[in-house]
Amino acid sequence: MVKALVVAVLAAAFVAQTAAALRPHIPLLLASTAVSLAVEGVLYRWQRGVVSLFAKSQADLTVRHVLRDLLLVVGLLRVGEQDRETAYAPLVAGLLAFYALHCAIQAVSVLVRRTRTLPVITRNIDTSALRLSPAPPALLRRPGPRLLAFGLPSTAGLLATAATGEPAVAAFGIAVSLGLALKGLYDLLLRLLPGRRPAGEQEVLDWFDAWLAEYRPTVGLYFSGGASSAYQANMWLEPLAQLRGRPLIVLRERFMVQKIAATDVPIVCLPKVSTLMRLEQSSLEVLIHPSNSGKTSQVLRIPTLKHTFVNHGESDKLSSCNPYAKAYDEVWVAGPAARERYATAEVGVEDKDVVEIGRPQLDAVRPYAGPPAGDRTTVLYAPTWEGWDGNPGNTSVIEAGENLVRALLADPGVRLLYKPHPLTGSVDARAAAADQRIRELIRAANREERAPKRTAPDGELARLTRELDQLTTASFRASADQTERMLHQGAPEPGRAAAVARATAAWEEAYWAALPAFEHQIVTDVRPALYSCFDQADLLVSDVSSVVSDFLASGKPYAVANTSGLPEDAFRTAFPTAGAAYVLAPDAAGVPELLDAVRHPERDELARERAGLKRRLLGPDEPVSQVRFDHAVQALCASAREHRVRMADRSAAELPAQRKESAPATHA
């Protein structure tokens, strides 16, 4: 509705300006031009979607600005006497010169951008040898806002001339616009000088090869995906950093460099396949893949590397045993259940290639310490998203979410934490709508709560938030491009990783302490993390997803919503992760009994089943998962080294025969 209104007002302003210029009618010309300029400001400040729509319709800002100035000139010519047309000719020439400069600035801006688009983007690596520099001002890189800003003096001058009849005012405005354009063009041209450019493509590639030779990476995390999928890689950052050897993170999309969470592990982004292939000549031995993507097949072509699929979470969904997994040398899973899942699925993954490593991320999850200690039972409702396959049993949000939340909020002793999956509603609009209704239920419950609030240590939490942000969030200018960010994200200071871990632990403690004990929470920010919510919860309510498998590490009670339409026995059989769960129907009728079992452990009939299922899903408690993960990495690295030796021996044996075949024949 708002977008349509903005478009209508802008269209009406241009129609009125056209009529006023042709008639001519100076007051209407002034008013319609002023309205048109005001709407342009609204578009670029609050309605960027409409800007894109205009651009697709070949009516971008350049066209609109030229039309606006042209109508002003037409109005001046129509209102002026015949002998004054000659006086307005220089104004037209000045406008033409300004628009020519605008086109020249855009052309040079593109050239500057190309010199700053490097074949390799990095984080946590010293790039001082690449002559990186701050980016040009954003105004010089964005044609629409630039034309609006630089052209404003000329438009204002033309308006003043239309009102006063003095051509000198318009001439002054056009001169100011020309001066701004010339200054912008000069600033950009300076950046094209040899001494002002960053290193060229071949120079950067040579530098990258030298860095690989010096750092000598052994194991890498390979990731490619969309902006919302970064969490799949982020969950493996800490386990990767704790491995023996020299870890590396390999990305393919430039935007993903800033999506990766705080880490001291070197990050390289290699957008082009030709650049990616340079890893073949490096010391890198193993790549770990937390997800499948279209670009995964490109890196699988490197014969010197071994590849393993670790997934970003395990569940009973079909996506946890994707046939693509057979493309990897090994598939690493948490426990025996996943091994059985691959065998049952018959997707081509051989049992000898499956390695059980546990879930290293879960080593720090606090174990069960008894029933709720206070007068509140904290329940974490963490539903998954709707998925791509349209299966109604994927998420409980649509069919059961509101019923579950109402039933939990109806118990005055419950404190609810609602943490929906980040992709909830991205496929099915019903899920998005249900999610919003659930949030409103929680907000309404908080408004109705009459319990006294505790004094929250807001000052301490704010201080810890600033400290953690300084450690984990790079500070950039709003106009910084990738090259400028790369300049400021060089080698990390020693001890930064340990400092981040301490600051995170302190922040989480302060965050939970700052919240009123009775207040329900909607948790959607990056912090607190899911596993921090695990530690606060006495009970989990979720769907068939990896969240259930991960929560089993705590040993606490959990419930799974059955929205599949299957009877409970068939549901438990179809989804082994629900084998030790309290199964809830879509109407949430079993919530009171569930809460009773949580508060009175002697009535918890599934405690023994949870312990057994934990071992089956996540493997043994000893050795811890991080140790098993490291052992698997070292074994696969050794296999990669043995493979390289065999390849080298084979090449050495074949070389004499090739030389003999290529040698010229001799005749007596």
pLDDT at 559: 96
CATH number at residue 335: 3.40.50.2000
431 and 580 in one domain?
yes
pLDDT at 662: 67
Q: Read off the pLDDT band of 640 (50, 70, 90).
A: very high
DSSP bridge pairs for 522: 418
Mean pLDDT of 87-102: 83
98 and 38 in one domain?
yes
Lowest-confidence segment of 542-546, 612-616, 647-651 by average pLDDT: 647-651
Q: Read off the pLDDT band of 459 (50, 70, 90).
A: confident
Does residue 104 belong to any structural domain of this protein?
yes
pLDDT at 57: 63
Domain boundary among 174, 190, 206: 190
Domain boundary among 301, 326, 358: 358
Cis peptide before 303 (omega within 30 of 0): no
Q: State the average pLDDT for the chain.
A: 88
Cα–Cα distance measured from residue 16 to residue 30, given in angstroms and rounded to the nearest whole number:
10
Query: pLDDT by residue (tens digit) across 565-613?
Result: 899 999 998 888 898 999 999 999 999 999 999 999 999 999 999 999 9
pLDDT at 8: 86
Q: Read off the pLDDT band of 433 (50, 70, 90).
A: very high
Lowest-confidence segment of 138-147, 321-330, 362-371, 449-458 by average pLDDT: 449-458
157: which residues sit within 8 A by CB, 6+ positions away? 169, 170, 171, 172, 173, 174, 176
Does residue 486 belong to any structural domain of this protein?
no
| Of the candidates 172, 176, 249, the residue with the CA atom closest to the CA atom of residue 215 | 249
Does residue 57 belong to any structural domain of this protein?
yes
319 and 272 in one domain?
yes
Written as one string, the DSSP assignment of 349-415 is --GGGEEE---GGGGGSPPP-SS-SSS-EEEEEE-----SS--TTS-SIIIIIHHHHHHHHTSTTEE
373 and 350 in one domain?
no
| Of the candidates 30, 11, 135, the residue with the CA atom closest to the CA atom of residue 481 | 135
Query: pLDDT by residue (tens digit) across 48-74?
Result: 777 777 766 657 777 788 888 888 888
Higher pLDDT, 81 or 520: 520
pLDDT at 458 over 90: no
pLDDT at 390 over 70: no
Higher pLDDT, 415 or 454: 415
Q: Read off the pLDDT band of 82 (50, 70, 90).
A: very low
**In this structure, are residues 629 and 239 in contact, taking their beta carbons and an 8 Å threshold?**
yes
Does residue 139 belong to any structural domain of this protein?
yes
Tally the C-alpha atoms within 13 A of residue 42's C-alpha that lie toward its C-beta: 14
Does residue 468 belong to any structural domain of this protein?
no
464: which residues sit within 8 A by CB, 6+ positions away? 503, 506, 507, 510
297 and 399 in one domain?
no
| Of the candidates 100, 111, 118, 119, the residue with the CA atom closest to the CA atom of residue 141 | 111
Higher pLDDT, 494 or 378: 378
pLDDT at 666 over 60: no
pLDDT at 335 over 50: yes
Does residue 455 belong to any structural domain of this protein?
no
pTM of the model: 0.82
107 and 228 in one domain?
no
442 and 425 in one domain?
yes
pLDDT at 84: 57
pLDDT at 668 over 50: no
pLDDT at 477: 80
pLDDT at 58: 59
Does residue 167 belong to any structural domain of this protein?
yes
407 and 391 in one domain?
yes
pLDDT at 11 over 90: no
30 and 153 in one domain?
yes
Query: pLDDT by residue (tens digit) across 463-482?
Result: 998 888 888 877 778 789 99
Helices (H), 134-229: 138-141, 143-164, 167-190, 201-215
Domain boundary among 301, 330, 358: 358
Cα–Cα distance measured from residue 533 to residue 527, given in angstroms and rounded to the nearest whole number:
10
pLDDT at 53: 72
pLDDT at 501 over 70: yes
pLDDT at 389: 66
113 and 248 in one domain?
no
pLDDT at 548 over 50: yes
Does residue 462 belong to any structural domain of this protein?
no
**Number of structural domains in the chain:** 3
**Which domain, by its residues, includes 534?**
365-448+515-618
Query: pLDDT by residue (tens digit) across 15-52?
Result: 898 888 788 888 888 888 888 888 888 887 777 777 77
**In this structure, are residues 539 and 380 in contact, taking their beta carbons and an 8 Å threshold?**
yes
pLDDT at 489 over 60: yes
407 and 543 in one domain?
yes
End-to-end CA distance of the chain: 94
339 and 392 in one domain?
no
pLDDT at 392 over 90: no
pLDDT at 456: 46
Name the strands in the sheet holding 582-584, side by side, starting at the edge strand that comes first in the sequence. 521-522, 414-418, 377-382, 539-542, 558-561, 582-584
pLDDT at 318: 63
